[in-house]
Structure 1
């Protein structure tokens, strides 16, 4: 009898998790970049509660309802002590947790300290949990027409560090903008790329992670906040993220992250009903395919191969080849008109000998920058 009961409990938890894994969390970007004065459990509980908000018809009383089954499935707890642990987590959240939000206004900055969930009600004799958001936090969660971020609740569930969650939300904010402007336009290509390769100063990173007084040595900050967080994010979310350190003088001044999306069947599933997005996405894919085909036939592709600036492996990447055809090869045409094809070959030989190792991560961007710097010199000389 006890075995059947335990099986039924597990089945119920699996069903709850399957439902949770389909949810998304939508928040204003100001909340993403705010200082979360809380540990991982209240932060994850807040994200779970936010996923219950129907942004099309938000609750007028700021109240959402969870089940304890959902909560335990989300936190992946099944031991006998889970109810008392839940009670303790709620108490800690209400006593300690708040967001410190900073917004730039016309005459300076405006600061808000907001306790997001001041009221929670539950009973030991039924499954329902009542969660009421504060009126002050609601503008950051509903009526979001612009400057908002949405990410998968299932990704948050797998993260076990406060810093991983904070960094994941910030990376999602940037990558959301990359996807949006890639599909719908409205930004220059260089601007769009910065969303996929966002930069943050060390001071901003410390403020966002609430570590202004912690880990005073950069090596410690890098190990505990950056490396450990990215290890979790890369293992458990839809992102694959690398980073590089940027120096100013002798000190590390900022971090540049490089975000790619893992191939998953449910990528962008929350956008399937956005017909404008889908139409723009199809048009963009068709254009990219055309550029890819043109690049494969281009004489410049052959020249890049001959000068060891492009590998056969990179030729299999449609995005790389489309980027070359769109941004680099037209510049090579200009150079050819000025100096002939030998002038292009001379330029490529120079680039090969001066090439930096970091450029190999994005060869199209590197070659674009190189030719854009060289062409004005050629034109000034009248060569």
Structure 2
């Protein structure tokens, strides 16, 4: 299983909670570090750096501020899960640490949440951390997870009431038209632009009122989506967010150190590699490394 994969129990996917996009990125980056198929304790501290947030789409000029603000809020956040007809409220994290000089924070997950994000053998959902790179809407990340849970089916119907509960909308957007514009349409647009899925949806009515949304989706690569794949089968037209993320990741691999001039920084090397990702004649040699990092052509 790829070390950059996010694995969550389906109870967490469908839980009721509210996290900002930055807070979700911090949580997801930390979850991707948890060893798979291994029992862990709540003693483990998981580091998340400014660089990792940048890879997930946070602007470099605000990444450090967002990291500190996000982790401070995250310490107070809780999640409501439905388990065996019981509603259980628990915290995401029990401890946060700051390493200001390194631009790194450490988070220790709370003991009650661990069974739902580690050592899972059934009823779980997984996806590559890179799938949500570039997505800036917190609602889009949540809806993407709800769809990926039904990836093998390609359809998912969700009642408006359940969606509002899972996203903890509360009194926000009481009119469906506002919820559709601010939540659903924004989410679908960003998922279509940045993720591996192509999504459409239908509104279903009970009487005259819209009560359900039926999402239909498929993998872009299987659908021949021209936004992701160039007419040449050997060249993949990556989004700017993908180029930024993978360029930064590839620059840290030993296999590409020979491309750097003596004394050249990782940032300068990353710029070269990003140009290679855009170049049809050079991209092909990078594809095996991209796949190892979670890219799905």
TM-score for both structures, normalised by structure 1: 0.54
Which structure shows the bigger proportion of residues in helix conformation? 1
CA RMSD of aligned residues (A): 2.0
Q: How many residues align?
A: 220
CA 1:213 to 1:52, structure 2 compared with 1: closer, same or farther past 3 Å? Answer: same
**Deviation at 1:64?**
2.1
Runs of 4+ in structure 1 off by over 6 angstroms are none
Where does residue 132 of structure 1 map in the other structure?
108
Equivalent residues of 1:62, 1:134 under 8 A apart: no
Give deviations 1:116-172, integer Å, cap 9, x for gaps: 122121222335532211111100012211110001111222211111011001001
**CA–CA separation in structure 1 for the residues paired with 2:49 and 2:116:** 24
Give deviations 1:7-58, integer Å, cap 9, x for gaps: xxxxxxxxxxxxxx97110000000001122222112211111011111335
**Deviation at 1:249?**
1.2
Task: Find the partner of 1:44 among 19, 25, 31.
Answer: 25
Counterparts of 1:1-383 in structure 2, within 5 Å, are 23-60=4-41, 61-79=43-61, 82-95=63-76, 97-103=77-83, 105=84, 109-126=85-102, 128-175=104-151, 178=152, 195-263=153-221
CA 1:82 to 1:40, structure 2 compared with 1: closer, same or farther past 3 Å? Answer: closer
Gaps of 5+ in 1: 1-20, 179-194, 265-383
Query: What is the DSSP-based 3-state SS (H/G/I as helix, E as strand, rest coil) of the residue aligned with 2:93?
Result: coil
**CA–CA separation in structure 2 for the residues paired with 1:165 and 1:82:** 18
Equivalent residues of 1:62, 1:135 under 8 A apart: no
Give deviations 1:196-230, integer Å, cap 9, x for gaps: 22111111111111124221111111111111110
**CA–CA separation in structure 2 for the residues paired with 1:150 and 1:110:** 25
Query: What is the DSSP-based 3-state SS (H/G/I as helix, E as strand, rest coil) of the residue aligned with 2:136?
Result: coil
**Deviation at 1:256?**
0.8
Which structure shows the bigger proportion of residues in strand conformation? 2
Equivalent residues of 1:22, 1:153 under 8 A apart: no
**Deviation at 1:74?**
3.0
Where does residue 271 of structure 1 map in the other structure?
none
**CA–CA separation in structure 2 for the residues paired with 1:22 and 1:224:** 33
**CA–CA separation in structure 2 for the residues paired with 1:89 and 1:36:** 15
Question: Is the radius of gyration larger for structure 1 or structure 2?
Answer: 1
Give deviations 1:238-292, integer Å, cap 9, x for gaps: 000101111111111211111111107xxxxxxxxxxxxxxxxxxxxxxxxxxxx
Equivalent residues of 1:37, 1:100 under 8 A apart: no
Query: What is the DSSP-based 3-state SS (H/G/I as helix, E as strand, rest coil) of the residue aligned with 2:47?
Result: strand
Give deviations 1:330-365, integer Å, cap 9, x for gaps: xxxxxxxxxxxxxxxxxxxxxxxxxxxxxxxxxxxx
1 or 2 for the larger relative contact order (CA 8 Å, sep ≥6)?
2
**CA–CA separation in structure 2 for the residues paired with 1:241 and 1:49:** 27
CA 1:130 to 1:224, structure 2 compared with 1: closer, same or farther past 3 Å? Answer: same
Equivalent residues of 2:26, 2:48 under 8 A apart: no
Equivalent residues of 2:74, 2:92 under 8 A apart: no
